[in-house]
């Protein structure tokens, strides 16, 4: 049963309305029902029923729950519960982020004929990098380094809340280095247009491949254009990624300061060794940049921008934006 609306999962989680669906799972806005009339809005991520019988997909879903449960960080969507429902499907109960994804945020600016505020794009990116730093610097119970590589950093997986808090979501493709890989050699996981060139060449994903994906996210959100994706088959997109021809961002956004463009350019270097060494290093570069500028970039400024964007979307005639990655 892939449409559980109106059902109580595990006796207390009620899916209310769909919030998203991918190839592995659906996400629902839901309610937790507790004692004495207690109610709480949550996100319910449920493995699609036909995927429940696939050992690989079931393993990935369980691994996502395990990994995120260990990553207790304010910029990572937190897990409240994990279980199996009455239909034999795994589900994860997560915090509900009241806001919108980064692709919808950028798309709304495109629909209004405006540019995304570059200083807020930088501020949002800092929060995502904090999440990546926490994942990359994870240690196991014995205190040994056990990095988690996200492998799916993309605008749709970055959630910006009305409270101004930014959350990184969807660790469904993540690779925890303290567990053996189940991915067959040469198999690529993730959205092709955000995958680092070396991963497409069958090298193992790393901290620096996540940094590359973050560079693509920043380039697209600033330029309001697709870098490699948008049209064509996965093979055609992969060929563009491998050619690594990055249009000059300064020509597309002359208002963006050169130091910020330099940060994006370095993150997008084809050679992993030429990129930032860590999410922390990239974070520090962006923080130093914003510290020297007069713009408001704190959570209050992000909150105001998100609320304004949501107000526009509520009043706008439905229709696609000119920038809509993954749609």
Sheet holding 99-101, edge to edge: 99-101, 158-161, 166-168
Whether pLDDT at 182 is above 60: no
Which carries the bigger pLDDT value, residue 220 or residue 232?
A: 220
Q: Which fold has domain 99-315?
A: Transferase(Phosphotransferase); domain 1 (1.10.510)
Output the pLDDT for position 179: 56
Average pLDDT on 51-78 reads: 88
Average pLDDT on 26-52 reads: 89
Whether pLDDT at 24 is above 90: no
Q: Catalytic annotation on 152?
A: yes
**Phi/psi at 249 (5° precision):** -65, -30
Output the pLDDT for position 2: 60
> Which percentage of the chain shows pLDDT scores above 90?
67
Average pLDDT on 27-52 reads: 89
Output the pLDDT for position 322: 42
Do 51 and 25 contact (CB within 8 A), yes or no? Answer: yes
- Give per-residue pLDDT as tens, 267-323: 999 999 999 999 999 999 999 999 988 899 999 999 999 999 999 999 986 655 444
Do 326 and 155 contact (CB within 8 A), yes or no? Answer: yes
Whether pLDDT at 186 is above 70: no
Which residues have C-beta within 8 Å of that of residue 170, sequence separation ≥ 6? 64, 152, 156, 157
Whether pLDDT at 154 is above 60: yes
Confidence band for 252, pLDDT divided at 50, 70 and 90: very high
Q: What residues does each domain of the chain span? A: 13-95, 99-315
Among 85, 152, 170, 210, the active-site one is 152
Whether pLDDT at 324 is above 50: no
- Give per-residue pLDDT as tens, 93-152: 999 999 999 999 999 999 999 999 999 999 999 999 999 999 999 998 888 999 999 999
228 sits in the region (left: phi over 0; alpha: psi -120 to 50; else beta) called: alpha
Output the pLDDT for position 282: 98
Output the pLDDT for position 140: 85
Does 13-95 match 99-315 in CATH topology?
A: no
CATH architecture designation of domain 13-95: 2-Layer Sandwich (3.30)
CB atoms < 10 A from the CB of 186, how many? 7
Q: What is the 3-state secondary structure (H, E, C) of the chain?
A: CCCCCCCCECCCEEEEEEEEECCCEEEEEEEEECHHHCEEEEEEEEECHHHHCCHHHHHHHHHHHHHHHHCCCCCECCEEEEEECCCCCEEEEEECCCEEEHHHHHHHHHHCCCCCCHHHHHHHHHHHHHHHHHHHCCECCCCCECCEECCCCCHHHEEEECCCCEEECCCCCCEECCCCCCCCCCCCCCCHHHCCHHHHCCCCCCHHHHHHHHHHHHHHHHHCCCCCCCCCCHHHHHHHHHHCCCCCHHHHCCCCCHHHHHHHHHHCCCCHHHCCCCHHHHHHHHHHHHHCCCCCCCHHHHHHHHHHHHHHHHHCCCCCCCCCCCC
Output the pLDDT for position 35: 85
Average pLDDT, the chain: 89
């Amino acid at each position: 049963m892939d449409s559980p609306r109106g059902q109580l999962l595990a006796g207390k989680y009620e899916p209310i309305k769909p919030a998203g669906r991918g190839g592995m799972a659906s996400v629902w806005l839901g309610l937790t029902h507790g004692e004495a009339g207690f109610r709480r809005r949550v996100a319910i991520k449920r493995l699609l029923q036909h995927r429940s019988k696939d050992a690989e997909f079931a393993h990935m879903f369980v691994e996502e729950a395990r990994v995120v449960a260990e990553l207790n960080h304010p910029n990572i969507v937190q897990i409240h519960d994990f279980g199996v429902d009455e239909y034999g499907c795994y589900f994860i109960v997560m915090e509900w982020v009241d806001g919108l994804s980064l692709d919808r945020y950028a798309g709304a600016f495109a629909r209004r004929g405006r540019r995304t505020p570059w200083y807020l794009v930088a501020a949002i990116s800092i929060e995502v990098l904090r999440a990546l730093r926490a994942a990359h610097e994870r240690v196991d119970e014995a205190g040994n380094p056990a990095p988690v590589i996200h492998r799916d950093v993309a605008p749709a997986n970055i959630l910006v809340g009305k409270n101004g808090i930014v959350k990184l979501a969807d660790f469904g493709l993540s690779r925890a280095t303290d567990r053996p890989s189940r991915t067959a050699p040469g198999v690529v996981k993730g959205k092709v247009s955000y995958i680092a060139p070396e991963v497409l060449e069958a090298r193992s994903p790393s901290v620096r491949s996540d940094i590359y994906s973050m560079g693509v996210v920043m380039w697209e959100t600033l330029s309001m254009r697709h870098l490699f994706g948008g049209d064509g088959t996965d093979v055609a997109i992969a060929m563009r990624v491998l050619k690594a021809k990055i249009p000059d961002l300064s020509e597309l956004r002359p208002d963006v300061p050169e130091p910020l463009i330099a940060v994006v350019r370095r993150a997008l270097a084809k050679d992993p060794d030429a990129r930032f060494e860590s999410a922390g290093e990239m974070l520090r570069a962006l923080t130093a940049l914003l510290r020297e500028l007069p713009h408001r970039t704190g959570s209050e400024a992000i909150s105001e921008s998100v609320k304004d964007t949501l107000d526009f979307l509520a009043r706008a005639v439905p229709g696609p934006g000119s920038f809509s990655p993954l749609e």
